[in-house]
Structure 1
């Protein structure tokens, strides 16, 4: 028996745009309609109208906590105009969770912006910081009594890189200058949001949800191996270490520019870790477009998910150890999951990753909770509904969008009931 601490928090996670549907005033919605090759989120799994049904499922499955997101585009569809109907709808959603005894982890920003913000040059525009903080203050004043945990920004570096370096996400820029502007303004936005939440609720627990893929050089010999190791050091800095160092010190990492941010230093009460997979880039002359690295290389004997991402549970423990060494703050696993349409690997994935989390706890690191991604099948940003992350299955072609808990959902419920993994 691998027993977890008595106060360990078990739950699952989602994001608003990916499950709610109908986020019509957002930049993603407009971008989906304007891009021929981009899948449409449409009504997603219609959580916006079916939240009571979904919350009943959460309660029946024994989940103690739920991480979900407020959509800025719903709250403030036009600049300076807060939608009272959307506010009251969110209040009903929050109250519904509270009535069932389910604790709330509330995400304030999960990549998606109001269209009016996108039209003013999104996060490149310094005015966006003040506008975001106005939205945050409004949300905090309205809903401060509900959340147990707050997430200011979800995976800010993923959004910054995909939107401004690779050009995969809106606004599809390829500009180092824009990338630096975006990261600086998002750091300012986080610091301001942290201050506002504590101003209205001094005892709040506020954090970031950061993406931490485990990056490990392939291990080629000679110059190829040296190049792989160098590429990994640079990649770690760009993907998460530069942001983490900025938050830890209160000063921009040189990658982002120069200067300090008021209130940024140490502006987290806990560290949110989003962990899914390992990447082992291998030197290849055939891959000039990815820096002569085969990013999809998989060592022999390593299993993969439907995305062909490597399943490597040890990576979550190593990531926990690394983040703990950097911040010495309590840790929540804010996302961990697998794209597994057949549900043939999800149960083992959950158990093996929880075993590694348990080992980290045994080594003295305070990991206080686990949110599985995701509670229900959702709209994936570039893949539409093809990739299935949910503990609960939903067929988007089913006009009734019937919910079907998968076998892995029942396994996870038993783990929660036992507060650990039985033999």
Structure 2
């Protein structure tokens, strides 16, 4: 089913009058993550993270880039929050750096905690909703030295961290997300080594995932006790897999792709069990699961965050898995990812049919990288404008199909450290000159701001 052509019109941010995007209670926001923007990795008692170690190792990150300075947000946070006001958004999604707020003995680091208190306090002054992610991949290195997510104890140390921050920020946070994209932490970090800590073993990946999800489930009741008025949830990245042909083998391969990318995380959370098909892909990799673990992992959620970026076309590998077959002639981003908004809509509708206990959804990340340059003081990111419009239309289509979607966050507010790709790939709606730290509003941001100003004016106008 193609998207409604009336939605994909020449005006990038004027959706139809019946679109959910016009509703004042539908949140539109922007998102960032601590390691990608903060810098100041050695200041005010912050400890090393696995990404400090990983990016300092030659060959791990493009061009040898690290997060040592990033966007210098730790020192420029006040002016960066002013960018949110310029953008006219309703909400801001950020993450807390675990190594910045606790020492190795689990004691609070007050200077780090005070940084987030000041930041979130300013967001509340601005009237913005605050969506706070506790873990966006920057595990303290001392915990990795003890086994990281392969060590069950890390899940309990995460609960201690969640306890500290939810007590310190109680009443200031609108929504807590325990983890961001456990698939990336488990598979890219422990399965194929593309991300920190750089280990590569399928058995490691499934065990790391179990401990990540256990950390989530252990933290949820702590968050409920300390900050009862806030929403509690988790953020999962999801992938659309499509078969290269109509053959039974290729259709099965596409199914297995989505099992590995989606059901691996969502089934334990919403069905309290791992999908059996996962271990068809990786025979003999079943994690060690203790009595009561799946009940803990399946703790009720107030919301589910969904991150979506692209579609993957696959075929059978002739054995028990799949292999990617890139489609020719399709539109791609700077990352090489196919732009496929229908995939987001189809996944959302599919999840709504599959999971009886599916909680309300926020699209917590959606965006694209392009090779943006400042020309005469402006950045014309026309592909991003088209990308955002088409994906917002896909979200609207899913809402009209009955999916309970409450908001959408653009990834990202700022160009930033894009993990193993360093600073080459630019996802922000504000351009960052990394030499001068100058921020420049891109054309996409200008149009988002214009639309939201119009929406907010209409929403507050007298009947």
Q: Would the TM-score normalized by the shorter structure come out above 0.5?
A: yes
Q: Equivalent residue for 1:17?
A: 35
Selected match of 2:337 from 302, 309, 322: 309
Deviation at residue 299 of structure 1 after TM alignment: 4.2
Measure the CA separation in 2 of the matches of 1:188 and 1:294.
31
Selected match of 1:160 from 164, 176, 186: 186
Task: Give the alignment of 1:23-38 within 5 angstroms.
Answer: 23-24=41-42, 25-38=48-61
Per-residue CA deviations over 1:359-390 (Å, capped at 9, x if unaligned) read: 22222222111100000101011111100100
**Given that residues 158 and 239 in structure 1 are in contact (C-alpha distance below 8 angstroms), is that contact kept between their aligned partners in structure 2?**
no
Q: Equivalent residue for 2:447?
A: 411
Q: Which range is displaced more, 317-326 or 345-354? A: 317-326
**Given that residues 251 and 260 in structure 1 are in contact (C-alpha distance below 8 angstroms), is that contact kept between their aligned partners in structure 2?**
no
Task: Give the alignment of 1:16-415 within 5 angstroms.
Answer: 16-24=34-42, 25-38=48-61, 39-219=65-245, 225-254=247-276, 255=279, 256-257=286-287, 258=289, 259-261=291-293, 262-282=295-315, 293-295=323-325, 297-300=326-329, 302-325=330-353, 326=355, 327-342=357-372, 343-396=381-434, 398=435, 400-415=436-451
Deviation at residue 154 of structure 1 after TM alignment: 0.4
Deviation at residue 175 of structure 1 after TM alignment: 2.1
Q: Name segments (4+ residues, structure 1) moved above 3 Å.
A: 251-260, 282-285
Other structure's SS at 2:178 match: strand
Deviation at residue 98 of structure 1 after TM alignment: 0.9
Residues 234, 260 of structure 1: alpha-carbon distance in 2 compared, 3 angstrom cutoff: farther
Deviation at residue 76 of structure 1 after TM alignment: 1.6
Measure the CA separation in 1 of the matches of 2:398 and 2:271.
25
**Given that residues 256 and 321 in structure 2 are in contact (C-alpha distance below 8 angstroms), is that contact kept between their aligned partners in structure 1?**
no
Measure the CA separation in 1 of the matches of 2:152 and 2:296.
17
Q: Equivalent residue for 2:24?
A: 6
Deviation at residue 282 of structure 1 after TM alignment: 4.7
Deviation at residue 37 of structure 1 after TM alignment: 4.3
Per-residue CA deviations over 1:67-114 (Å, capped at 9, x if unaligned) read: 000010111242323211111111111111111111100000011100
Deviation at residue 42 of structure 1 after TM alignment: 2.0
Length-normalised TM-score, structure 1: 0.91
Measure the CA separation in 2 of the matches of 1:231 and 1:413.
42
**Given that residues 254 and 315 in structure 2 are in contact (C-alpha distance below 8 angstroms), is that contact kept between their aligned partners in structure 1?**
no
Other structure's SS at 1:276 match: strand
**Given that residues 30 and 412 in structure 2 are in contact (C-alpha distance below 8 angstroms), is that contact kept between their aligned partners in structure 1?**
yes
Other structure's SS at 2:223 match: helix
**Given that residues 191 and 200 in structure 2 are in contact (C-alpha distance below 8 angstroms), is that contact kept between their aligned partners in structure 1?**
yes
Per-residue CA deviations over 1:317-356 (Å, capped at 9, x if unaligned) read: 1121122222432110000001122312011111111111
Q: Equivalent residue for 2:11?
A: none
**Given that residues 15 and 69 in structure 1 are in contact (C-alpha distance below 8 angstroms), is that contact kept between their aligned partners in structure 2?**
yes
Measure the CA separation in 2 of the matches of 1:294 and 1:124.
28
Measure the CA separation in 2 of the matches of 1:29 and 1:20.
12
**Given that residues 271 and 298 in structure 2 are in contact (C-alpha distance below 8 angstroms), is that contact kept between their aligned partners in structure 1?**
yes
CA RMSD of aligned residues (A): 2.2
Structure 2 unaligned segments of length 5 or more: list them.
1-15, 43-47, 280-285, 373-380, 459-463
Other structure's SS at 1:345 match: helix
Q: Equivalent residue for 2:3?
A: none
Residues 265, 282 of structure 1: alpha-carbon distance in 2 compared, 3 angstrom cutoff: closer
Measure the CA separation in 2 of the matches of 1:84 and 1:284.
52
